[in-house]
Chains A and B, each alone.
Chain A
Amino acid sequence: MTFSLNLFSDLQQILYYPFMQHAYEAGTVVAIVAGIVGYFVVLRRSSFAAHSLSHIGFAGAAGAALFGISPVYGLLLFTTVGGSSMAVLSPKATYRDVSIGTVLAFMLGLGVLFISLYTGYATAAYSILFGEILGISSADVLLTLVAGLVILAAVAIVYRPLLFASLDEDVAEAKGLPTFILGIVFMLLVAVATSIAVQVVGVLLVFSLMVTPAAIAQQLAKRPRRVIIISVAVALMTTWLGLFVAFYEPYPVSFFITSIVFVFYLLARLGNRIVKSRSVPGMISEASN
């Protein structure tokens, strides 16, 4: 298979293969969900929690492999339980890091045990850690789609209260919003989004889809809805482009995805700096105030 300059015929060629179809389907759902949930992760400064949840998922995925079931079920079980207990144990984000880290280390240890007990191929661990989107089954695609739709519906319901509680928790609480429950809902959203994103980029690289696109978008827009749209667009472009390139080159998809999103990130930082240096001189001194 060779790359031609006719992108349409390239795409036709790529999507001729069922494994590439599945990869594009799952990748698209994951990019949309990660772009949206990632916005709240960045807004709430919970990227460590999101990162940790994927590592907690590692134990779940390894356990699932041990019992011969699809890793995504293990991921969903471990991340949802892990995420809601994080939210319950330390409701205030400020004090969360230490308790998350403690749970995280324990869970990773558990994952190591499961992997050592697992007598199958060593590649199982590799694909959990770094993603195996090209090997995704049609059943997993369906599960990804269902999980994605559940997340979208949940976000649509809690959108404004969650936004309020994330931006201004004290006032939201005083206004009678259930900030504690919203914290749990948020962690559950992150848990499910992480679980399906792990299939694409793996446990170690979830950051690249869950956090980086939203961080890029935050540099480029000031209104939540616009930030979310840009975040989704970046995640989609990254995933599609990554899969496209990986089809022609013999290197892992997750390498291309993480590299592409990193380039986007650098460009956004650079662009932002240029825009800021061109604005009114007073702006910068005020910004540092």
Chain B
Amino acid sequence: MTMTKTDSIGPGIKAPEGSSSDSEKIITAEKLAVGYRGNTVWGDASFAINRGELVAVIGPNGAGKTTLFRLLLGLLQPAKGNLRIFNAPPTRGNPRIGYVPQRHFIDSETNTESLELVRLGYSGRKWGLSLFSQNDRKFALAALTDVGAADLAHRPLGELSGGELQRVFLAEALVSNPEILLLDEPLSNLDIRRESELLVVVNEVVRSRKVTALLIAHHINPLLPYLDRVVYIANGKVATGRPAEVLTDESLSSLYGIRIEVLHDSRGNLAIVGLEDTQGEHEQ
């Protein structure tokens, strides 16, 4: 395998799709800044995300990737600037957003079966009892089938592996038929095979349901074949664009403050050299 350094973009990266006339802006940020107690996490971010895009949110730990999700979920207010989602400011509990938070810990004694959690994704907001409605059960099974996890429906949550759990969480987020999916580090703790399996599922869901998905990840490479857009958050700055625009030597080097080279092999696979090697320095 020969590696040649080039600034052009290889076939491994999804080319920007057609004309942008039919693409509807679903999230827009203008000079957006966010912080806690006066400390700015990142600022001066302006970007737009179109309907149906698969977007990777990438950057070192503590850079404020999850903070972006909290803004979109309406759990946190911008310090400065303007953020609009569905052409309105974010509101908490928006049913058009599905969310899979980052899980540090799954209770291994939770004997509750997966289907019940997915059902709650549909009916968990409803007060009172509905003893006879089985709608949520039907939709939950359909969502589990969509993510290739129908066989997990009756398995206890506490017994599932990391990859299986992520599928169940994805179904839980999808069951209410959202237009935007926010996935916080779904790939962490997965081995390479499970990682690519899950990405195939996410990609299928995004394309078949026309969902817009934002996915926080540590490594860009496994995502490259599926990405429409990248959001890089590092050093208090946010860089966004098509992978072809952002994944260049100049762009990455200036963002991370270290020398990074973007290499392509003969088959068009992309290797970002420098980023993976030094990632440990960015992580706490």
CB-contact partner of B129 in A159, A177, A289, under 8 A: A159
CB distance from A177 to the nearest CB of B (A): 6
Stretch touching chain A among B22-30, B92-100, B205-213 = B92-100
8 A-B pairs with least C-beta separation: A176-B93, A164-B124, A222-B113, A170-B101, A164-B120, A287-B159, A174-B99, A289-B161
- Asked if residues B154 and A160 are in contact (CB atoms below 8 Å), the reply is no
List 4 additional A-B contacts (Cβ < 8 Å) besides A160-B128, A173-B75, A289-B161. Answer: A163-B124, A170-B99, A174-B73, A174-B75
In the complex, the answer to whether A167 meets B125 with C-beta atoms within 8 Å is no
- Give the residue of B92, B95, B120, B159 whose beta carbon is less than 8 angstroms from that of A168: B120
Return B59 CB to nearest CB of chain A, in Å: 21
- The total number of A-B Cβ pairs within 8 Å is 90
The verdict on B186 contacting chain A, using a C-beta distance below 8 Å, is no
Count class of interface residues, chain B: 35 or more
Chain A residues, Cβ within 8 Å of B99? 170-171, 174-175
Q: Would you give the shortest CB distance from B94 to chain A, in whole angstroms?
A: 8
B281 is an interface residue with CB less than 8 A from chain A: no
Known contacts: A45-B107, A176-B92. The answer to whether A289 contacts B113 by CB under 8 A is: no
| Contact assessment for A174 and B93 in the assembled complex, using a CB-CB cutoff below 8 Å | yes
Is A91 an interface position by the 8 A CB rule?
Answer: no
* Chain B residues within 8 Å of A164, by CB: 120, 124-125
- Looking at the assembled complex, report how far the CB atom of A165 sits from the nearest CB atom of chain B, in whole angstroms: 8
Question: For the complex, what is the distance from the CA of A177 to the CA of B107, rounded to whole Å?
Answer: 22
Asked if B43 lies at the interface with its beta carbon under 8 angstroms from chain A, I say no
User: What are 27 sample pairs from A and B whose C-beta atoms fall under 8 A apart?
Assistant: A45-B107, A157-B127, A157-B128, A159-B128, A160-B127, A160-B129, A161-B124, A164-B124, A167-B110, A167-B112, A168-B117, A170-B99, A171-B99, A175-B95, A175-B99, A175-B125, A176-B93, A176-B94, A177-B124, A219-B111, A221-B111, A222-B116, A223-B112, A223-B116, A286-B161, A287-B108, A287-B158
A156 at the interface (CB under 8 A from B): yes
CB distance from A181 to the nearest CB of B (A): 12
Judging by beta carbons under 8 Å apart, are A160 and B112 in contact? Answer: no
Contact A160 B120 (CB under 8 A): yes
Cβ distance B176 to chain A, nearest Cβ, rounded Å? 8
Task: State whether the Cβ of B53 lies closer than 8 Å to any Cβ in chain A.
Answer: no
| A141 to B97 CA separation, bound complex (whole angstroms) | 49
Is B112 touching A171 in the complex (CB atoms < 8 A)? no
Min CB–CB distance B120 → chain A (angstroms)? 4
User: How many whole Å from B269's CB to the nearest CB in chain A?
Assistant: 30
Determine if B123 is an interface residue (Cβ-Cβ < 8 Å).
Answer: yes
Question: Cβ of A168: which chain B residues have Cβ within 8 Å of it?
Answer: 117, 120, 172
Q: How far is the CB of B122 from chain A (nearest CB, A)?
A: 10
Query: Is the Cβ of B124 less than 8 Å from the Cβ of A160?
Result: yes
A275 at the interface (CB under 8 A from B): no
A212 within 8 A of B: no
A156 shortest CB reach to chain B, Å: 5
B151-173 CB mask vs A (1 if < 8 Å, else 0) is: 00010101111100000000011
Interface residues of A in 211-248 (CB under 8 A from B): 218-219, 221-224, 227
Q: Which residues of B contact A170 (CB under 8 A)?
A: 99, 101
Interface of B is mostly: loop
Q: How near does chain B come to A172, taking the closest CB pair, in angstroms?
A: 6
In the complex, A139 has a CB within 8 A of chain B: no
Cβ–Cβ < 8 Å partners of B97 in chain A: 174
Interface residue A283 (Cβ < 8 Å from any Cβ of B): yes
Bound-state CA distance A289–B158 (Å) is 10
Complex: how many Å from CA A172 to CA B111? 19
**With an 8 A cutoff between CB atoms, is B64 at the interface?**
no
B126 in contact (CB, < 8 A): yes
Instruction: Say whether B121 faces chain A, with CB atoms less than 8 Å apart.
Output: yes
Tell me, rounded to whole Å, the shortest Cβ–Cβ distance linking A30 to chain B. Answer: 22
Contact residues in A for B92 (Cβ distance below 8 Å): 174, 176
Q: Mark A168-198, 1 if CB is under 8 A from B, else 0.
A: 1011111111000000000000000000000
Q: Is the CB of B113 within 8 A of A223?
A: yes
Nearest-Cβ distance from residue B271 to partner chain A, whole angstroms: 31
Most-contacted residue by chain A among B95, B120, B121 (CB, 10 A): B120
Complex: A20 Cα to B100 Cα, angstroms:
53
Given A157-B127, A177-B93, A286-B161, A163:B111 Cβ within 8 A: no
Residue of A nearest to B99 (CB): A174
Q: Do A283 and B159 have beta carbons less than 8 Å apart?
A: yes
Residues of B within 8 Å of A227, CB to CB, are 111
A142 at interface, CB cutoff 8 A:
no
Distance from A29 Cβ to chain B, minimum over Cβ atoms (Å) = 20
Q: How far is the CB of A210 from chain B (nearest CB, A)?
A: 17
